[in-house]
Amino acid sequence: MTDDDIYTDALHAGQQPDPATGSRAPPIYQTTSYVFDDDEHAAELFALEDEPMAYAAAYTGKNIYSRIMNPTTMMLENRLAKLEGGIGSITTASGMSSLDLATFLLAEAGDNIVTASALYGGTYTYFTHTADRRGIEARFVDTLDYEAYEEAIDEDTAYVHAETIGNPALVTPDLDRLGEIADDHDVPLFIDNTFATPYLCNPFEYGANLIWHSTTKWIHGSGSTVGGALVDGGNFDWADSDYPEIGEDNPAYHGINFAERFGEAAFTFAARARGLRDLGNQQSPFDGWVTMQKLESLPMRMQRHCDNAMAVAEYLEDHPEVAWINYPGLESHETHDNATEYLDNGYGGMITFGLENGYEGGRQICREVELASLLANVGDAKTLIIHPASTTHQQLTEEEQVASGTTPDMVRLSVGLEATEDIVADLDQAIESAT
Ligand SMILES: Cc1ncc(COP(=O)(O)O)c(C=O)c1O
């Protein structure tokens, strides 16, 4: 997607004036259910014959029940699909529920997931404990060791997973290479694009097949609403691969074969008809509506996050009490070249760094900041700070912390939209007090 396309699509894609009222802003369809034309139409919708879950269903009067689809959340879904260059999307109650829904569809007991190890701590725990309880093995590989991915994949691999900008080490893998590896083994590449957002990266361009987002972060951007989304690239051959929920006659939906019936949109339809329907992890119409309002300004906000983060990173890089700094925009960053290749417009809003006085310094700076808020979130309009080792990553063993990219001294900063000099001044006084 070119820069200019995203400015228009963030405002227009997936939504038109409401056909019933002319409302220009998207209405909140706060309803559980929808009146059918007649009994025959009702039967057709349930049999998926009149395509109730199709891309444009938001306006077609083909809705059934809001656990499966809702016109307000569908507008957001259609917009996200367009921004990512996908063919369909579903929104969920949180980012984690998007991960869970995709895993439910793609993996069963005995399968494995091959994943980059630089991951959000919650994803790490989901793989090691939640997927594991269901008999699904997570195989963690060094995010940048491409041979390790090759070696870990076998005939039971359900998907290959990585983050565009891995949380919290901020490493960007060679996405093209991951796309080729997954494709060679006929498994989908599933990318968490939360830290990049569609403004910085469209992973489908590099071979990803499915994308997930925590819309809680920059897509919403004001820290008020938890949500998630799955986006379908429509570029994986489910019919010829071993994904019984999608590519075989599905007994849970009176024998429908989603791949035969819906072709490239098979995953999106299965995600609604099997995932949302049975797991009930849909996003609420109000949350979808708020997120859509905020998405309109994503390009402008994201650009400022990137510009502010670059300025803060340069300040920290020159500070004598800062022992090390990770920002993908700095030439010193391990994956600066990959980030330059795969990210457009900037390098994101996240920075990690350590102070010369290590673990204690990391905890102390969080106590000393006045403008930045100490909390467990990222991607807010306001600057946020946390010390992962004593908070978000506390439940991981030291070995797991290191594998996931956390170090005892690491401070994680989500750079907000405030005046650049105010963010720098706050850090300056906090570092001085903490050291
Ligand atoms: C990169 C990343 N992915 C996924 C999630 C999970 O999203 P949510 O909190 O919306 O469930 C988070 C949460 O912090 C995250 O940072």
Give residue-wise pLDDT tens across range 129-156. Answer: 999 999 999 999 999 999 999 999 999 9
Q: Rounded CA gap, 70 and 26, in Å?
A: 12
Collapsing DSSP states into helix, strand and coil, what is residue 254? coil
Q: What is the reported pLDDT for 166?
A: 93
Q: d(Cα 270, Cα 253) in Å, to the nearest integer?
A: 10
Q: Which residue has the tokens 């109650």?
A: 93
Q: Ligand 1 pocket test: which of 99, 190, 195, 217 has the largest number of ligand atoms within 8 Å of its C-beta?
A: 217
The mean pLDDT value for 409-433 works out to 97
Q: What are phi and psi of 46, to 5 degrees?
A: -65, -30
Predicted structure pTM score: 0.96
Task: Report the mean per-residue pLDDT for the chain.
Answer: 94
Pocket test for ligand 1, best of 92, 101, 103, 214 (most atoms within 8 A of CB): 214
Measured in Å, residue 70 CA sits from the centre of ligand 1 at: 23
Residue 395 has pLDDT above 80, yes or no: no
Q: And the tokens for 156? A: 């039971």
Residue 192 Cβ inside 6 Å of ligand 1? The answer reads yes
pLDDT at 19: 85
Q: Are strands 411-414 and 350-355 parallel, antiparallel or unpaired?
A: antiparallel
Joined tokens for residue 368: 């000393």
Q: Which residue lies with its CA nearest to atom 16 of ligand 1?
A: 120
H helices of 135-187, where? Answer: 146-152, 175-184
Tokens of 1: 């997607």
Residue 167: CB within 6 Å of ligand 1? yes
- Which residue, chain included where needed, has tokens 């694009």? 193
What confidence tens digit (pLDDT) does each residue in 314-371 have? 999 999 999 999 999 999 999 999 999 999 999 999 999 999 999 999 999 999 999 9
Give the residue, out of 213, 216, 352, with the most ligand 1 atoms within 8 A of its beta carbon, to mutate for a pocket test: 216
95 touches ligand 1 (CB under 6 Å):
yes
Q: What does the block give as tokens for 272?
A: 């609604």
In this prediction, residue 339 carries a pLDDT of: 98
Can you give the pLDDT at residue 55?
52
Among 123, 126, 130, 201, the mutation site with the greatest number of ligand 1 atoms within 8 A of its Cβ is: 123
Instruction: Give the distance (Å) from ligand 1 centre to CA of residue 142.
Output: 20
Nearest CA to ligand 1 atom 14: 377
pLDDT tens for 107-129 read: 999 999 999 998 888 899 999 99
Structure confidence at residue 397 as a pLDDT band (50, 70, 90): confident
pLDDT tops 80 at residue 429: yes
Q: What is the pLDDT of residue 58?
A: 55
Q: What confidence score (pLDDT) does residue 400 get?
A: 75
Mean of pLDDT values over 296-314: 98
The strand pairing partners of 413, in sequence order, are 351, 385
Phi, psi of 325 (to 5 degrees): -145, 140
CB atoms within 10 A of CB 198: 30
Delineate the domains of the chain, giving CATH numbers in brackets.
Answer: 3-295 (3.40.640.10), 298-434 (3.90.1150.10)
How large is the average pLDDT for residues 38-59? 75
**Which residue type does 61 have?**
G
* 321 Cβ contact partners less than 8 Å away, ≥ 6 residues apart: 355, 356, 357, 361, 431, 432, 435
Phi/psi of residue 35, each to 5°?
Answer: -75, 130
* Selected residue with higher pLDDT from 392 and 161: 161
Distance CA 415, CA 393 (A): 20
Residue 372 CA to ligand 1 center (angstroms) comes to 20
State the CB neighbour count (10 A cutoff) for residue 249: 12
Does the C-beta of 120 come closer than 6 Å to ligand 1?
yes
Q: Is the model's pLDDT at 59 over the cut of 90?
A: no
